């Protein structure tokens, strides 16, 4: 296996035309499972997850099959998303959405416009989910641009009309950090392109004869615990988060990703991601209480996911304001941004909250 970088996700994006939901799911997940084996065995690449975004089935049908969908996903080691919902539909169907969250099924919510009423409604969704179980609020995100996005990354991924295409993403922060230490920004650029071209060629080869199309690669630098995006950015910036100068480090890494994304077939975000619960170094920084949720929201002017998987004290208006600040950055950049936040009652900054799959996560001040 390649010890330097991994395939974070093979994500099938598909819009079905109705029919048997479970049959459609099993057919597509079986294809993804076979693709995972091909990429792993033939290309020597570890595939961490396979994911499916399947749109076109009514919400009520998903809810009626939620337990069986969950069992199917567990059997294949897959993650499943129903894609985007409009905000009004999500609020009006909360009891049904809760059933999906109970069974680990993902979705995302489209913010109609960056207005206080809508932001408060989105905030209430996060609060309702976290009140039932803080981990439930990790299974969906709010797309503040309101435009569905094709990407390999959950929870904002949308098929956006695609039919049986596969998107891919990487886990490679430590690989990139070592490349930067050796060769600076040029070494970083060469490393991103080298990994992207290898993975792209491997996935395209594995797709031959499968009936699946290659949708592209999202080159975002996403962490997973000791694979720390924050460590890479602090290395490039030369300062710790959130000291002055940190944001330039984010921008420099994003410049490299943007250049690489123009060279390969890319889709999605292609930016640094800073999800608190997924990055051990970021958890440590948050625990120091020098960084606030407002800082993370404002980081989104220079990086994709400045406000992701952050646990905060429950406060409807404050979370709504964070959503609007992120929306302002989205408008400035002209790009889709997302918010995934976990508001918890009766906690203080520095407390720890347990999140399934992510472990203990520190509460950050708003």
pLDDT, tens digit only, all 366 positions of the chain = 345 899 999 999 999 877 899 999 999 999 999 999 999 998 899 999 999 999 999 999 999 999 999 999 999 999 999 999 999 989 899 999 999 999 999 999 999 999 999 999 999 999 999 999 999 999 999 999 999 999 999 999 999 888 899 999 999 999 999 999 999 999 999 999 999 999 999 999 999 999 999 999 999 999 999 999 999 999 999 999 999 999 999 999 999 999 999 999 999 999 999 999 999 999 999 999 989 999 998 888 877 655 899 999 999 999 999 999 999 999 988 989 999 999 999 999 999 999 999 999 999 999
**What does DSSP assign to residue 212?**
P
Specify which residues 170 forms β-bridges with. 7
Could you tell me what percentage of the chain is helix, strand and coil, using 3-state DSSP and rounding each to the nearest 5? 45, 25, 30
Are the C-beta atoms of 176 and 191 separated by less than 8 Å?
Answer: yes
- Tokens 């919400």, residue located: 59
| CB neighbours of residue 148 within 10 Å | 19
Contacts of 231 (CB under 8 A, 6+ apart): 173, 174, 177, 281
Residue 176 lies in a domain: yes
> Does residue 301 fall inside a structural domain?
no
> Between the CA atoms of 282, 284, 287 and 290, what dihedral angle is there, to the nearest 10 degrees?
-70
pLDDT at res. 2: 45
Token pair belonging to 93: 């169907």
The region, left, alpha or beta by phi > 0 then psi within -120 to 50, assigned to residue 160 is left
Q: How many Cβ atoms are within 10 Å of 195's Cβ, its own excluded?
A: 24
CB atoms within 10 A of CB 89: 14
Burial of 267 (0-12, 13-18, 19+ CB in 10 A): buried
Look at phi and psi of residue 290 and say left if phi exceeds 0, alpha if psi is from -120 to 50, else beta: alpha
29 CB-side CA count, 13 A? 23
Query: Would you say residue 209 lies in a domain?
Result: yes
> Does 309 reside within a domain?
no
**Total of domains in the chain:** 1
Q: Is the preceding peptide bond at 155 cis, omega within 30 degrees of 0?
A: yes
| Phi/psi at 362 (5° precision) | -75, 145
Which CATH number belongs to the domain containing residue 213 in this structure? Answer: 3.20.70.20
Strands 352-355 and 359-362, by their bridges, are: antiparallel
DSSP category for residue 221: B
* In-domain check, residue 310: no
Nearby residues of 92 by Cβ (< 8 Å), 6 or more positions away: none
For 78-91, give the DSSP string: EEEEEEEEEHHHHH
Q: Which domain holds residue 174?
A: 1-278
Contact 41, 70 (CB under 8 A): no
| CA-wise closest residue to 310 among 126, 173, 180 | 126
With vertex at residue 280, the alpha carbon angle to CA 343 and CA 254, rounded to the nearest 5 degrees, is 90
């Amino acid at each position: 296996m390649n010890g330097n970088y991994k395939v974070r996700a093979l994500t099938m994006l598909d819009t079905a035309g109705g029919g048997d939901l479970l049959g459609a799911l099993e057919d597509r997940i079986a294809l993804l499972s076979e693709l995972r084996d091909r990429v792993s065995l033939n290309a020597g690449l570890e595939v961490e997850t396979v994911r499916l975004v399947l749109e076109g089935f009514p919400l009520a049908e998903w809810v009626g099959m939620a337990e069986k969908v969950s069992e199917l996903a567990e059997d294949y080691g897959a993650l499943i998303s129903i894609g985007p919902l409009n905000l009004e539909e999500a609020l009006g169907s909360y009891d049904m959405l809760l059933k999906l969250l109970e069974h680990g099924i993902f979705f995302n919510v489209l913010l109609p416009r960056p207005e206080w009423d809508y932001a408060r409604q989105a905030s209430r969704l996060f609060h309702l989910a976290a009140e039932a179980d803080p981990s439930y609020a990790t299974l969906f995100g709010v797309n503040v641009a309101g435009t569905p996005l094709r990407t390999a990354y959950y929870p904002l991924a949308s098929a956006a009309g695609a039919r049986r295409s596969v998107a891919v993403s990487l886990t490679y922060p430590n690989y990139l950090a070592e490349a930067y230490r050796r060769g600076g920004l040029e070494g970083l650029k060469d490393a991103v392109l080298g990994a992207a071209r290898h993975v792209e060629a491997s996935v395209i080869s594995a797709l031959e004869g499968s009936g699946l199309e290659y949708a592209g690669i999202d080159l975002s630098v996403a962490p997973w615990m000791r694979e720390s995006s924050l460590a890479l950015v602090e290395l490039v910036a030369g300062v710790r988060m959130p000291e002055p100068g940190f944001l330039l480090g984010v921008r420099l890494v994003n410049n490299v990703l943007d250049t690489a994304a123009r060279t390969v077939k890319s889709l999605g975000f292609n930016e640094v991601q800073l999800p608190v619960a997924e990055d051990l170094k970021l958890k440590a920084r948050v625990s120091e209480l020098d960084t606030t949720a407002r800082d993370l929201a404002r980081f989104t002017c220079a990086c994709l996911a400045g406000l992701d998987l952050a646990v905060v004290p429950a406060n409807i208006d404050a979370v709504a304001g964070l959503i609007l600040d992120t929306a302002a950055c989205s408008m400035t950049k002209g790009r889709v941004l997302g918010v995934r936040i976990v508001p918890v009652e009766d906690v203080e900054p520095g407390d720890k909250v347990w999140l399934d799959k992510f472990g203990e996560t520190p509460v950050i001040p708003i």
